Structure 1
């Protein structure tokens, strides 16, 4: 067999043209970093029939990426294990760690987009947190799965492939943090987990932003709320997050949770009330008392499927100096309050923030 040095000149020229064109093609692909945090998408069950019974956060990121060789067709992908935690156990410290890493990576010229693999239980919270604090127009996509990769009809592989495709697409820039699952592209600001056992679990009350079919992205609308590069919050300036708690209210509710949270040092309490964030008559004096002690009271609604809390409806918010969460569900209201309180404790400023974000 002749060595390359013995090839005729025209063959040598053709060979190097093909080689250089391949290099140019690879260089032309977007550079996407997959940051792994754990969750069902990295989970494993004992049997292929186990779609709801499994152990989360077991598969490392390199194995997830290697399991989808087609990723190399759409992007230059590398992975990084930020932590390996079931998402229901994520703390504020985990959010800060992830946020700082995302911010650092997006400042680099050799990073075009970020994908974050995550557990579904708190996907909406992490996505909204990043939507508030990351100052970049580059795509940030949070992806998860409802079934472990060991299950029949597992959804993780396609979700991750779609997420990388969206993160590498320049049309995804400037749209805020995105959540990609079940072929849908949702805003991290709006999306919520609406059911716990089906792959179509994540929905936005105001509709999805777009869809992705066979790797191609189709956009329908944009997010009109402030986010990412237009946000007044900056992860690079946030070193810690204050304690904000959620108290769930229903019929026959007592003041036990509210007083306990106050005693533990909560700076704000999200009142997750029925209907229009309604407050039981027996609770009103308690919430007034806590507000007088400097604790912010934020009325939200635990109604599923959409809607928003109207200020001075049901309760005289102006009189009591309370804040309403507008259309944010209780868990998202907690995230925004936590971030906002890192800048201000003024109730009027907090209300402005809840209306703008």
Structure 2
């Protein structure tokens, strides 16, 4: 392990310049009582208040704050994603910014992280962080999470990894890390893909690197994207129907991600609806509701022009499909993207 960098070893002239971009969520939440860890108001504390609550981060970096939004993350929209991506890219392109920390609600944190993982055009560190307990709670996890996120973004070890997620002392890739628990502080896991490393106080300890293309190695350029096409996720189950497929097509969906059973299993009536949707020009991605493992290309799916999601969760497959559809609606080309990213 490398020597830890205490405040006495850093001078004001050598501190990395880190911008904290706040989007809201539980880390910026308040409750009526200190014992409340549910039923609180997310996204009400300002970025400046978040920074003031953790004065120790001043020893790690020259920190500034920017309030991009202040919302519960279940209210995230594609407009917010596009605005956030543009803001992050603009700041990273400046010589006055050495890295970005994004504070975000945990419900959709993984979706925003993967979107930025595919669209940020810089090798400078980008770390996204949240909390499972509001700022007013006993043993609130937000302050330490924020401290360690700044430490990670300020470190040279974080460069070139794409967007990193730092929560509860764990470092994960934006592609492979997901929320796996509804309430506990230990909510984010990388499951079978594995964590990249840990935060030990303010020191990142990294063991692995994601091999899938990201950031500067992707074909997605937000300066060329006016808006993101509509992509819906449909959850497969026994005794299903085609009704929701038809409704999605009628509503204007350009893509559908089907979260199937097991290895992308699709109920027969639903499959007929998805085949008709594909014939109408809607790109269909076959994924799994399981949360772990590959979805392989099956003959029936290939014949129907469906795309296999690889090991992406349905919510991350939706992010990639939205971006892919800004480039092409050819299913074979999009399949290649799922194998690349």
Same-fold call, TM > 0.5? Answer: yes
Matched with 1:256 is 243
Q: 1:336 aligns with which of 316, 320, 338?
A: 320
> 1:282 & 1:293 partners in 2: Cα distance?
17
Match among 326, 334, 337 for residue 310 of structure 2: 326
In structure 2, what is the Cα distance between the partners aligned to 1:144 and 1:154? Answer: 11
- 1:335, distance to aligned residue in structure 2 (A): 0.3
Query: TM-score scaled by structure 2?
Result: 0.96
- For 2:253 and 2:306, locate their aligned partners in 1 and report how far apart those are by CA, in whole Å: 15
Contact 2:127 / 2:166 at 8 angstroms: preserved in 1?
A: yes
How far is 1:164 from its partner? 0.3
Number of aligned positions between the proteins: 332
Structure 1 residue 318: Cα displacement:
1.9
Greater radius of gyration (CA): 1
Q: CA deviation at 1:78?
A: 0.5
The gaps in structure 1 that reach 5 residues or longer are 1-21
CA drift of 1:248 comes to 0.7
- Which digits, 9 at most, give the CA deviation of each residue in 1:332-356, with x for residues without a partner? 0000000010001110000000011
Structure 1 vs Structure 2 CA RMSD: 1.1
Contact in 1 for aligned 2:242/2:272 (Cα 8 Å) = no
Q: How does 1:141-290 map to 2 (within 5 A)?
A: 141-205=127-191, 206-290=193-277
Runs (4+) of structure 1 moved beyond 2 Å?
none
Of the three residues 50, 74, 86, the one matched with 1:64 is: 50
2:281 aligned partner? 294
SS of aligned partner of 2:118: helix
Unaligned 5+ residue runs, structure 2? 1-7
TM-score by length of 1: 0.91
Distance 1:85 1:284 in 2: 37
Q: Distance in 2 between matches of 1:195 and 1:171?
A: 28
> 1:214: how far off?
1.0
SS of match in other structure, 2:101: strand
Shift of 1:135: 0.8
Question: Following superposition of structure 1 onto structure 2, how do residues 88-99 of structure 1 map, counting pairs within 5 Å?
Answer: 88-99=74-85
C-alpha displacement at 1:285, in angstroms? 1.6
Instruction: Give the distance between the partners of 1:137 and 1:175, measured in 2 at CA.
Output: 8
Provide the secondary structure at the position in 2 that maps to 1:145.
coil
**Aligned counterparts of 2:318 and 2:307: Cα–Cα separation in 1:** 12
